[in-house]
Amino acid sequence: MAIGVRSYDEVSLAQLRADPYPTYRTLRAEAPVAWLAPAGIHLATRFDDIMRIEKDHETFPALDLRSLQIKAMGHSLMRRDGADHGRQRRALDPTFAPGVAKRHWQPLFEDIANDIIEGLYEQGRADLFSDFAAPLASRCLMHILGLTQIDWRDLCRWSQALMDATGNYGDDPAIWARGKEAYDSIDRAIEARVPELQEAPDQSAISSMLHAEDPLDMADLRANAKVIVGGGLNEPRDATCTAVLGMLTNPDQLARVREDETLWRIVFEEAVRWIAPIGLYPRRVARRVEIGGAVLEGGDAIGLSVASACHDEDHFDDGERFDIFRKRSPHLAFGAGPHFCLGTWIARMQVGQIGVPALFHRLPNLRLDPDHEPAIEGWVFRGPTSLRVVWDA
């Protein structure tokens, strides 16, 4: 813990997983940059402090070899800075650029969403987490990555294992073991596909990295693929369930959206602000600095709680309430600066333009199952883990 930084130890990791927002509210008010003792990290919780950090990469670089993400996934572009980061990000542009999302991915994603809903329709009930959001995100991601030969259920399992390992601040050995199994399985899947993609390039991320103007070596390619497996599945999956939950618990807002279909894009942005799927990511402190009333020393690590920033009272009135009509203000659910989420445009399309609207268009009188409460958990990564619904089949 850096000198002069308040230590906050009045909460357990179990409490944070259940609901981190009361802790964040306390920290924003009393110690916006604090030592979070149960997790063993410094934590920044205010919007303006996090924006300052993201704009100063000399003082707060992304590279930190102690990163749990590096341990879980390898040394990806997420933990690189400057020209090195830019080179790897450019290698992925042919897959993730906004125009590519609309032109290439949208028709495929629409077909996948419609196919899943067609298979559910006659049942009249489902857990949207496991029956719609997870298969939609996984089946779309198989094509985005280029791992079309695998089972979507395996990709779901690998993604969750990697994300659990990346958030393993409690250093649970079982979580590391599951993460390592996923790590090795993904490497084998990549190895099987690389020869085909070298011979027949396509729009996928693995192909883009292989055929970039400055191609990535296999270590970088594998690490970046694992980052995409993690965030590219969990984030749209969780955002889908969050957006549906927000709509079904606010019927007045849903009625307005049904009258004006252009509001679905606002539904998506409010959903990821309300419950940020990726709630925390780290930065390294390169030199002594004062921020948020605390003094950090060179070598310290700091976690940026964008989930907290998305509820910051200075930017969002009543931030813990889902409200698509709130005053528009930029959120930090996708980060900021050079590391702004590469998959943002694809997620907006997959969730906000395709997945969530399709559910409300095609499942008559969609509503929450009165016999099952929605379940939400997580703090490093957070979202619904069960969302049972019924409709008039």
Q: Please give, one letter per residue, the 3-state secondary structure of 47-78.
A: HHHHHHHHCCCCCCCCCCCCCHHHHHHCCCHH
pTM comes to: 0.94
What's the rounded Cα separation, in Å, for the pair 359 and 106?
16
What is the sign of the dihedral through the CA atoms of 170, 156, 372 and 358? Answer: positive
**Which phi and psi angles does 266 have, rounded to 5°?**
-70, -35
The two structure tokens encoding residue 283: 């930065």
The two structure tokens encoding residue 330: 């930029």
The two structure tokens encoding residue 224: 């970046």
The CATH architecture one would assign to domain 7-390 is Orthogonal Bundle (1.10)
Helix pair 152-166, 134-145: axis angle to 10 deg: 90
Where exactly are the structural domains of the chain? Answer: 7-390
What type of residue is 342? L
Helix pair 218-248, 173-199: axis angle to 10 deg: 110
What's the rounded Cα separation, in Å, for the pair 230 and 381?
11
What's the rounded Cα separation, in Å, for the pair 154 and 186?
10
- pLDDT (tens digit per residue) in 137-151: 999 999 999 999 999
The two structure tokens encoding residue 366: 């969609």
User: What was the pLDDT predicted at 7?
Assistant: 80
Strands 41-44 and 301-304: parallel
Report the length, in residues, of the chain.
393
What's the rounded Cα separation, in Å, for the pair 110 and 121?
16
Question: CA Rg, the chain, in Å?
Answer: 20
What's the rounded Cα separation, in Å, for the pair 35 and 38?
9
What's the rounded Cα separation, in Å, for the pair 170 and 123?
40
Burial of 308 from C-beta contacts in 10 A (0-12 / 13-18 / 19+): buried
Of the candidates 59, 54, 32, 55, which has an alpha carbon nearest to the alpha carbon of residue 43? 32
User: What was the pLDDT predicted at 38?
Assistant: 87
What type of residue is 137? A
Going from the C-alpha of 162 to that of each of 132, 171, 320, 351, the distances in angstroms are 21, 14, 28, 22
Q: Where are the alpha helices (DSSP H) in the chain?
A: 13-18, 21-30, 47-54, 68-73, 82-96, 98-100, 106-120, 128, 134-145, 152-166, 173-199, 205-210, 218-248, 251-259, 264-274, 306-309, 344-347, 356-362
Of the candidates 286, 378, 309, 341, which has an alpha carbon nearest to the alpha carbon of residue 33? 309
Query: Distance from CA of residue 350 to its chain's centroid?
Result: 14
Spans in the chain with pLDDT lower than 50:
none
Question: Residue 123: how many CB atoms within 10 A of its CB?
Answer: 11
